[in-house]
Structures are given as C-alpha cells and as structure tokens.
C-alpha cells in the first residue's frame, strides 16, 4: 500500500511537471503586434508620433488583453514601399506577429496590400497610409484600414469651401499618390458644385524654394488648397508670409498640412486657416482630453493626426481582441470581430464598411489660440463619412484613379 | 515682362544661397580630393544652432555667428577624424558615417518637427520690386553671397594662402615637397568650409524650413551645383549655382511637373559637352 501511494505520488508529480509548461504557456503566450512606422528621414517625427499613439493605447490595457500579454515589435519602413513589405514580412515570418499596425505613408500601404496574400495568418490594420486603392478596386481579406482614404475627409472640405463663397481654387500638392487622392477628393466635390481650378501645382517632396510659385499665383483665384507635409508646408507658409501674400488668398489645408506640428512651428502665421481632417485639437470628450493630456506630458504639445491615427488602430485591434477572448490565432474570428466593431473613440465613432474601410467623422477645423496654445478648433462636423461620400460604390470605383490631371475643371 | 523679371530675381537670390552651400564643398574637394558627404549635416547643424540661439536671445545675428562657429569647430573635429584614414574613398565613406551621426544627434536633440530660424528685424519690411513686394531677406542673402564669393576670390587670388591652396589643388605632392605644411592647410580649409556652410545653414534656415532629411536634399543640390560648375572650382560653383537657381526657378514656375527633370537634364547636357563641368580642368 505504502509502495502504491509512493508510486502514484511520483506519477502524479511527473504529470504535474509535464503539464507545467503547457499551463504556463497558456497563461503567458503573448499576442504579438507589429508596428510599421517611418522612424528616419523627412517623416521621422510622424513615425515617432505613431509609435507614441500605439503605446498610449496599449498602456490603457496595461499591455494585457483577455489575460494575454501584448508584445510590440516596432520596425522602421523609411517611407519606402519595398522596405515596408520587407519589414512586414520580417514581422510576420521572423517575429511571428499576428497583427500588423501600419504602414504610415501612401505608397507603402499599396505595396503591403499587394503582397498581403503572403501572410494569410496575419491581419494588417492600415493605420495611416491614405493611398486611394488600399480598400478600393479589389480588397484583401487580411487588409483593413482604420485610417482615412485620401479623398474621404476632403469631399466635405470641397463642399464647405464652395458653400462659403469660394469659386476659383489654386491647388498645391506634393507629387505622389497621397496628395493626388487628397486634392482629388477636394476637387471632385468642389467642381461638381460649380467651382473651378485656376492653377494646379505639383512639387517634389522636399522642395525648399517656393518663390517661383508664390510670385506666379493667378491673381483672379480666391483660395488656395494646400496638401504639403513636414518641412515643405513650413517652407511654403514662411515664404508666403515673407512675400506678404498670407492675406491675399483664403488658404484651405489638407489633413497633414495644417496639423498640430505645423501649428506648433508656425504659430500666428497660420491663425484662422481652415482645414479638413479626421482629427482635431479641441473636442468636448473626456477620452480626448485625457489622451491629449497624456500625450502632452510625453511631448509637450497637443496631440496630432498621426498619434491619433495609430492610437485609433491600436484601440480597434484591442477591442476586437477582447471580443474573441484574446484568441488571435483564430484570424477568421478576429476579422469577423473587426467587421462588427462599433467603437466610440476620442474624436469619432468608428465602424467598418463592406470594403473593410473605416467610416469616421470629418471635421472642418480652424486654427485658433486656445489657453496659450495654437489649436485646430472644430467649426463644422460631418458625421460618419464613408470613403465613397454620397456616391454609389460601384459607380465610384469605375472612375479613373486620382492623378495629376483627374479630376480637373479648369476655369474658362 | 515683369513676371520674367521676378522669376529672374527668384532664380538669382536662390542661386546666392546655393553658391554659399556649394563653395565650401568644392573647396574641400579641390584641395583634398575628399567628397565631404557630411556637408548637408553641417548645413542643418548650423541652422539648428542658429534656431536655438535666436530663440533664446531674440537676436538673429548671435544665432548666425554661433551657428557658423559651431559648425567650424565641428568641421575641425571631422578633419581630425578624416586625417586618421588614408585614401580618398575611405575618407569619403567616413564623412558619410559622420553625416548620419550628426543628423541623428540633431533628431535626438531638436526632435523631428521642421523649423525655421526667426527673421531679423532689419529685413522685415518687404521692398517693392517689379510691381510686387519682394522679401528684403532674399536680397540680403544675395548680397551676403556676393560678399562671401568676393572674399573667397580675393583670398584665393591675392593672398599667400590662396597661392598655396591653388598650388595644392594642382599638385599636392609637389606642394608639400616645397616645404609647405599641407596638413595645416587642409585643416584650415576644413574649418573655413565648416564656417561658411554653418553660415549658409543659418541664413538658409531663415526662409527654408529644415528638419530630418534636409541634410540629404541639401547635399544633393550641392553635388549638382558643384558637378555642373566643375569640381574644385569656386568660380565654377558660382556659375553652377546661377544656372541651377535660374533653371529651378523658371522650371518651377512654368513647367513645374518636370522641374527636376529639367534641372538634371541641364546637368546631363553640360556633362555631355564638358565632362569635367563648365569650369573644371583636366587632371
């Protein structure tokens, strides 16, 4: 008997030992989330903001979702499409990430979408890339977008500009996919209302001297629509100011041009500029104030578009993960959970359309001096804007992709 | 007519800045046969220093002076490092590495937001020109470039140092065989270059925003100007800057989609007929 007890005790102990790793694994196997952002070069600041946004979101969960720890893998894509694809491949194949947040810039998003079939066991939540066709003209089951489509926030701005009496616009944008869509959305709405284009300027990224454009602007136009980013927009506005041209035209800004960073640098020069965005600097919501405060403690300025966009994508991922009890290995369930998401974020409610593109509120912002800081203040809200605005999706996708020359409506 | 006059003015005021950037670059190459890849980083370092000092003191002039001196000192340190390495190519690669280090340090210290240096008071009133109010600062940049160019010309043509420099450009080993301490001359050239580049960064940064990535776009412009004008020739840089500035200005105004193509196209045509650049000399 004694021997039996001893043997069974040993057997039980051995069983227990065998089960230990399995138990421990079940407890601690992390959810691996890859972050693709631009951390070097001209967009470095945006990338840093993006990573901040992701971290701010997961801090709210204490880096633990449904009992499983969250592990972040951050990669720099250098704003280059093929690098973005390589880094995405490394995150999925080498690190075993099941969810990818990113990439950041326009062409990167398209490149990752094109290669998305390589990674059926990972879901890519495009966080900031606003290139047109990420969720149009053919979709991938594992590519979702919480960020806006390039034209999405610009339809309302085009209409707003027309309704406030502006008829002849000059557009100035950088010469690549994102500004094509951004300018395109504005013009599609503006032209259909009856406005016209006095001149279009496309400049390479990193253009430093705008004097020749500023001195050449058509005098009969009444507004300028601006889609420049980073140092380009700062150079342009500084030189506009030095030429004494700031009051001559009403300036309308795209989402990236008149963002929090631009306001911090330019200050009073940009006072009163109206822009369209899916982000803002002032909104009556508790979650926005606390997010803005936490970001402010980190960087000492108001939270901007890119931190907001990545925060949003991380929150959407976290909510979908909670819904499926953290079982990220079941990608089908995860995607289904994404599809049914109805998330009230700091500035906007987020739902997905059938093309896996988020619907979101669009704001018309005006730059104002609030409590010692320059901030974008909402002057009008267009709730739950779809990527197709009010158009029929099927008809819409038949139109050509946005380019330098489409859409266009030159003034007679 | 007025419009053409204005674009011409835009072109030559831009050329003034380009000349200041390119002259130091060409000087180092001419004397030492080192392609200083950290030239763009020198530029943004000067701009950042000027930005900080201007912001702290409110005095633009202090910013410009401190910016120039800082880059002069940095250039001296770079020169010490470069002198430890033998061979033109390893030296060039070393400067590329230094460039990345400086750019990363700037990102660490100043963050990634693009900046501009606050404008001085004396250029705050625009000047009427061809039916337009033209920014006084651009005239100032042009004047400064003329002064820098004139001083360099005088130094190279009329002083003993200039004679040694020109001799060194023509034949390095012969010059040092004549008992001239060529190493000391190299160091001096590096410091001078750093000073001028820091100055152009501080001045350029007053109306052209700078941030991460600006270092490489500046380096590209410097390379285009210097290659077009002829590597090692100061007068060549002036001519190259003038052509690049004018082509850039008119191109951007009238055929903006192909402005860069036009610029590089001009470079290719120049090189097709003068492989060593407009004023470059045969080895």
Task: Summarize pLDDT for B234-269 with one digit per residue, the tens.
Answer: 899 999 999 999 999 999 888 888 888 898 999 999
Query: Which residue did the predictor score with more confidence, B171 or A108?
Result: A108
Query: Which residue did the predictor score with more confidence, A228 or B31?
Result: A228
Please give the ipTM for the structure prediction.
0.86
Among residues A76, A150, A73, A75, the alpha carbon closest in space to that of A110 is found at A150
What is residue B117's three-state secondary structure? coil
Q: How far apart are CA A272 and CA B134, in angstroms?
A: 24
Number of domains in chain B: 1
- CB of A40 within 8 Å of a chain B CB? The answer is yes
Average pLDDT, chain A: 92
Ramachandran area for residue B228 (φ above 0: left; ψ -120 to 50: alpha; else beta): alpha
pLDDT per residue as tens digits for the range B148-157: 999 999 998 8
* Segment holding A288, helix H or strand E: helix A286-299
Q: How far apart are CA B48 and CA B66, in angstroms?
A: 10
What pLDDT sits at residue A10? Answer: 65
Ramachandran area for residue A138 (φ above 0: left; ψ -120 to 50: alpha; else beta): left
Evaluate whether B173 touches B19 at the Cβ level (below 8 Å).
no
Q: Is residue B80 part of a domain?
A: yes
Q: Is residue B55 part of a domain?
A: yes
Q: How far is A216 from chain B (nearest CA, A)?
A: 6
What is residue A382's three-state secondary structure? strand
Indicate if the pLDDT at residue B202 is higher than 90: yes
Residues of chain A with pLDDT under 50: none
Q: Is residue B62 part of a domain?
A: yes
Q: Is residue B199 part of a domain?
A: yes
> A residues 185-204 near B, CB within 8 Å?
201-204
pLDDT per residue as tens digits for the range B141-150: 999 999 999 9
What pLDDT sits at residue A41? Answer: 78
Chain B residues near any Cβ of chain A (below 8 Å): 3, 6-7, 10-11, 13-14, 107, 111-116, 119, 126, 132-135, 137-138, 207-214, 217, 248-250, 252-254, 256-257, 259-260
The chain B residue lying nearest A47, using CA atoms, is B112
- CB of A48 within 8 Å of a chain B CB? The answer is yes
Domain annotation for chain A: domains and CATH numbers: 30-149+286-360 (3.40.50.2300), 154-284+362-396 (3.40.50.2300)
Average pLDDT, chain B: 91
| Token reading at B98 | 């230094």
Q: How many residues does chain B have?
A: 283
What pLDDT sits at residue B33? Answer: 81
pLDDT per residue as tens digits for the range B111-135: 888 999 998 988 888 888 877 788 9
Indicate if the pLDDT at residue B223 is higher than 80: yes
B36-B115-A75 Cα angle (round to 5) = 75
Give the domain range for residue B157. 9-120+132-214
The chain A residue lying nearest B123, using CA atoms, is A242
Q: Do B249 and A261 touch (CB under 8 A)?
A: no
Q: Is residue B112 part of a domain?
A: yes
- Best residue of A231, A240, A404 to probe chain B, by most B CBs closer than 10 Å: A231
Other CB atoms within 10 A of residue B48 CB: 24
- CB of A215 within 8 Å of a chain B CB? The answer is yes
- CB of A268 within 8 Å of a chain B CB? The answer is no
The chain A residue lying nearest B208, using CA atoms, is A235
Evaluate whether A225 touches A247 at the Cβ level (below 8 Å).
no
Q: Is residue B273 part of a domain?
A: no
Among residues A370, A367, A168, the alpha carbon closest in space to that of A273 is found at A367
Share above pLDDT 90 across residues of chain B, in percent, rounded to a whole number: 61
Q: Is residue B282 part of a domain?
A: no
Q: Do B135 and A175 touch (CB under 8 A)?
A: no
- Residues of chain B with Cβ-Cβ distance to A202 below 8 Å are 256-257
Q: Do A243 and B252 touch (CB under 8 A)?
A: no
Give the pairing type, strands B127-129 and B132-134.
Answer: antiparallel
Q: Is residue B246 part of a domain?
A: no
């Amino acid at each position: 008997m004694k021997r039996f007890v001893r043997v069974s005790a040993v057997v039980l102990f051995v069983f227990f030992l065998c089960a230990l790793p399995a138990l421990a694994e079940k407890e601690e196997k992390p959810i691996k989330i890859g972050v693709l952002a631009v951390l070097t070069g001209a967009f470095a600041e945006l990338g840093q903001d993006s990573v901040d946004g992701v971290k701010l979101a997961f801090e709210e969960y204490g880096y633990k979702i449904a009992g499983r720890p969250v592990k972040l893998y951050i990669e720099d894509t250098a704003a280059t499409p093929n690098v973005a694809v390589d880094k995405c491949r490394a995150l999925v194949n080498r690190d075993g990430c099941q969810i990818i947040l990113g990439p950041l810039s326009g062409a990167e998003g398209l490149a990752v979408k094109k290669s998305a079939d390589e990674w059926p066991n990972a879901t890519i939540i495009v966080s900031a890339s606003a290139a047109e066709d990420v969720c149009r003209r053919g979709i991938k089951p594992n590519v979702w977008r919480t960020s806006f489509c390039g034209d999405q926030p610009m339809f309302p701005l085009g209409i707003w500009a027309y309704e406030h009496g502006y008829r002849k616009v000059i557009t100035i944008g950088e010469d690549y996919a994102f500004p094509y869509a951004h300018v395109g959305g504005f013009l599609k709405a503006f032209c259909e209302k009856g406005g016209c284009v006095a001149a279009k300027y496309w400049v390479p990224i990193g253009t430093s001297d705008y004097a020749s454009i500023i001195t050449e602007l058509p005098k009969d136009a009444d507004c300028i629509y601006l889609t420049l980013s980073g140092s380009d927009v700062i150079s342009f506005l500084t030189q506009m100011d030095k030429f004494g041209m700031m009051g001559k035209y009403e300036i309308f800004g795209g989402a990236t041009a008149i963002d929090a960073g631009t306001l911090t640098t330019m200050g009073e020069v940009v006072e009163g500029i109206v822009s369209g965005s899916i982000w803002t600097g002032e909104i009556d919501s508790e979650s926005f104030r606390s997010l803005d405060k936490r970001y402010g403690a980190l960087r000492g300025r108001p939270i901007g578009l890119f931190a907001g966009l990545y925060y949003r994508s991380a929150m959407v991922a976290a909510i979908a993960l909670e819904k499926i009890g953290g079982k990220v290995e079941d990608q089908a369930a995860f995607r289904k959970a994404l599809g049914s998401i109805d998330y009230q974020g700091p500035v906007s409610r987020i739902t997905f359309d059938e093309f896996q593109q988020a619907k979101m509120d669009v704001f018309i912002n005006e730059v104002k001096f609030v409590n010692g800081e320059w901030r974008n203040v909402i002057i009008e809200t267009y709730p739950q804007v779809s990527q197709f605005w009010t158009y029929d999706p099927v008809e819409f996708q038949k139109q050509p992709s946005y380019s330098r020359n489409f859409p266009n409506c030159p003034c007679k | 007519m007025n419009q053409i006059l204005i674009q011409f003015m835009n072109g030559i005021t831009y050329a003034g800045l380009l000349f200041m950037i390119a002259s130091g670059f060409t000087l180092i190459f001419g004397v030492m046969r080192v392609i200083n890849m950290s030239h763009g980083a020198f530029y943004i370092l000067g701009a950042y220093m000027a930005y900080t000092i201007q912001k702290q003191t409110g005095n633009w002039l202090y910013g410009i002076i401190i910016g120039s001196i800082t880059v002069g000192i940095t250039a001296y340190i770079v020169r010490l490092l470069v002198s430890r390495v033998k061979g033109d190519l390893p030296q060039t690669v070393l400067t590329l590495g230094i460039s990345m280090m400086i750019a990363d340090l700037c990102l660490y210290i100043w963050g990634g937001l693009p900046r501009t240096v606050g404008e001085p008071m004396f250029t705050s009133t625009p000047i009427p020109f061809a039916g337009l109010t033209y920014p006084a600062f651009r005239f100032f940049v042009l004047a400064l470039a003329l002064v820098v160019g004139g001083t360099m010309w005088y130094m190279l043509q009329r002083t003993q140092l200039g004679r040694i420099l020109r001799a060194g450009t023509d034949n390095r080993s012969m010059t040092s065989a004549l008992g001239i301490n060529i190493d000391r001359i190299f160091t001096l050239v590096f410091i001078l270059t750093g000073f001028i580049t820091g100055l152009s960064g501080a001045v350029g940064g007053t109306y052209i925003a700078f941030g991460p990535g600006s270092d490489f776009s500046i380096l590209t412009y410097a390379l285009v100007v210097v290659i077009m004008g002829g590597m090692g020739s100061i007068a060549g840089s002036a001519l190259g800057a003038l052509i690049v500035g004018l082509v850039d200005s008119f191109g951007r105004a009238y055929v903006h989609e192909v402005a860069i193509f036009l610029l590089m196209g001009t470079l290719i045509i120049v090189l097709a007929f003068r492989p060593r650049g407009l004023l470059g000399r045969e080895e």
